[in-house]
Structure formats: structure tokens, C-alpha cells
Amino acid sequence: MTDAASTTARMQDPSRRARLAEFWYYFSENRGAVIGLWVFIVLVVLALAAPLIAPHAPNAQYRDAILVPPFWETGGRAAYPLGTDAVGRDILSRLLFGARYSLFIGVVVTLLALTTGIVIGTIAGYFRGWVDTAITRLMDIILAFPSLLLALVLVAVLGPGLTNAMIAIALVQQPHYVRLTRAAVMTEKNRDYVTAARVAGAGNLRLMFRTILPNCTAPLIVQAALSFSTAILDAAALGFLGMGAQPPTPEWGTMLAEAREFILRAWWVVTFPGLAILITVLAINLMGDGLRDALDPKLKRS
């Protein structure tokens, strides 16, 4: 036990630190990725601090302040920096609370799709045979539908709402993880170190998840960044179509749906929620590009 632990520690410590340093070196080479990382950190801080910094409660309605423009426009008030919506709610406060929803959606969907996808993909790539065929076919079937349409119908089946929207989005994203994991596991499986571990008496579970899987992480991390941003976009799209988070939740897509009828009268109710989605997704995609450059050895040389 102690022997094994010390062995792992000895194996991991210097190399892991070196690898992290190397990773950071390549990641920070990409200026966009660093900017994306900073923006993302700011967004996380704002989301966490929302109850402390938001000037108003997200659902508080001020009857005397309906469709007030942002403070720099004529008629704007300092109390509502980004204006108010059609029922007099402060848009800035709703955006700050909305950041919590979007980031939460991204984390939950990614974790859900990642874990189920990895387990299923590892099983398919490790065991091959009919299990693999069945899994691959099922994933082909899911991928045959346009993802947003499938998510839309799934939410209609499960009932509109944020939880069901997250489940539906995770389900349509999970085939990508299955495919990536399966391909990676298949190439790793016949390497010498796996054979060595097997000869040393490691069981299937240990071989799959302790020996092989840690060597397949690079493409999965990149995919996770990608699906984090897609999850936020898709959840907002479902909210916009009326199938995601339900009013009065301050989710950004739902806010856009509520604002639609006022677009020609009050530009701010439409502009800011969408801008928030765009900034968040852009920051994550910038980081994703940086991750890919830093983790993909083929691109490192150039």
C-alpha cells in the first residue's frame, strides 16, 4: 500500500509538474487563450458574487420603471445601469444571476456527457466485438438527428424546464465523447505498457480506467471545452424557443424570448442578454483553441 503510493508519487511528481509547466508554456503562447481564460475567470467571479453585487433582486418588478433605457441614453436612470425590461426588472441584475445559470448548465452538461461518454466509449473500445458494434450503431443513430431538433423533441417528451433541457443536451452531446474515447482506447489498448500491466495481473476494470484512460485525456479535454460552450448555446436556444428554463428564471436565452416582442421599441432588452451569451461562449472557445494547441503534439512544432 505505502509502497504503491510512494511509487505513484515518485512517478507523478516531477513529470506531472514538468508537463504542467510545458502545458502552460504552450497555452500562454496563445494570446487569445489567455484573454479567454481571464474573461472566464471574471465571469465565474461575477456569477458567484451575483447576490452581493447585483443592484436589485433578479425578479423584483419596479412598476415605475418599465422599459427604462440604459443610463447613457436619454431617460436612463443610474439605478438601472443597463435599463429595465417590460415588467420593470433590472437587466444588469438579471444578467448577473443569469451567469450562474449558464455556467451551471455548462458544467453539469459537460460532466454528464463526459462521464457517461467516457464509460461507454471505454467499454466499446476495450471489449470490441458485439458490444462495440451495438454501441457504435446506437451512437450513429443519435448523430443522425440534428442535435438541436433531437434536444427539442426530447425536452418535449420529458417536459419543458431547465433540468430536462440539460439532460437532453447532455444526451445529444455524449456520442462525441463515446467516439473519441473509443478511438483513443483502441489505439492505446495494444501498446506494450498495457500488455505489461495485464501480465502483471491487472483486471479489466483497472486496465480500462487506470491504465489506458489516463493516456487518452488530451482529445477529451479539448472536446469538453467545446461542449461546454455548445451546452450554453443550446440551452439558451431551447430557452429562446420556450422549452428550456421557464420564466421568470433569469436565464439568458429565456430573457431573449421574453424580449422578442419589444425588439423594435427597446433595443437594450434584446442586446444585452445575447451579448452576455456571446462573450461567455467566445471566452470558452478561445480557451478551447489554446487547449488544443497546447495538448496537440502535432501542432506544437509549428
Choose, by CB under 8 A, the member of 23, 32, 116, 218 that binds another protein.
Answer: 32
Q: How many residues bind another protein (CB under 8 A)?
A: 45
Residues with Cβ within 8 Å of 83's Cβ and at least 6 positions away in sequence, in order, are 67, 68, 69, 70, 73, 76, 91, 266, 268, 269, 272
Closest distance to another protein from the beta carbon of 81 (Å): 20
Confirm or reject binding of residue 137 to another protein (CB under 8 A).
yes
Q: Which is nearer to another protein, 174 or 229 (CB)?
A: 229
Confirm or reject binding of residue 147 to another protein (CB under 8 A).
yes
Confirm or reject binding of residue 261 to another protein (CB under 8 A).
no
Confirm or reject binding of residue 159 to another protein (CB under 8 A).
yes
**Would you state the cell numbers that stand for residue 191, as one nine-digit string?**
501498446
Contact 276, 267 (CB under 8 A): no
Closest distance to another protein from the beta carbon of 144 (Å): 5
Confirm or reject binding of residue 242 to another protein (CB under 8 A).
yes
Confirm or reject binding of residue 289 to another protein (CB under 8 A).
yes
Confirm or reject binding of residue 149 to another protein (CB under 8 A).
yes
Distance CA 171, CA 116 (A): 9
For the residues of 229-246, what is the DSSP string, one character each?
A: HHHHHHHHHHHHTTSSSP
Q: Which is nearer to another protein, 69 or 273 (CB)?
A: 273
Confirm or reject binding of residue 131 to another protein (CB under 8 A).
no
Helices 162-189, 147-158: crossing angle, 10 deg rounding = 130
Q: Is 160 left (phi over 0), alpha (psi -120 to 50) or beta?
A: beta
Choose, by CB under 8 A, the member of 54, 109, 152, 222 that binds another protein.
Answer: 152
Listed residue (58, 65, 62) closest to 91, CA to CA: 58
Contact 32, 286 (CB under 8 A): yes
Confirm or reject binding of residue 86 to another protein (CB under 8 A).
no
Residues with Cβ within 8 Å of 167's Cβ and at least 6 positions away in sequence, in order, are 112, 154, 158
Choose, by CB under 8 A, the member of 146, 196, 210, 296 that binds another protein.
Answer: 146
Choose, by CB under 8 A, the member of 73, 107, 278, 296 that binds another protein.
Answer: 278
Half-sphere exposure of 22 (CA within 13 A, CB side): 10
Binding piece for another protein, criterion CB under 8 A, among 19-27, 88-96, 106-114, 261-269: 261-269
Confirm or reject binding of residue 271 to another protein (CB under 8 A).
yes
Closest distance to another protein from the beta carbon of 287 (Å): 11
Confirm or reject binding of residue 141 to another protein (CB under 8 A).
yes
Count each helix (H run) and each strand (E run) in the chain, helices first.
13, 0
Q: Is 287 left (phi over 0), alpha (psi -120 to 50) or beta?
A: alpha
Whole-Å CA distances, 264 to 29, 259, 272:
44, 10, 15
Q: Which is nearer to another protein, 86 or 138 (CB)?
A: 138
Distance CA 77, CA 68 (A): 7
Confirm or reject binding of residue 140 to another protein (CB under 8 A).
yes
Q: Which residues bind another protein (CB under 8 A)?
A: 32, 137-138, 140-141, 144-150, 152-154, 156-157, 159, 229, 233, 236-237, 240-243, 253, 256, 260, 263-264, 267, 270-271, 273-275, 277-278, 281-282, 285-286, 289, 302
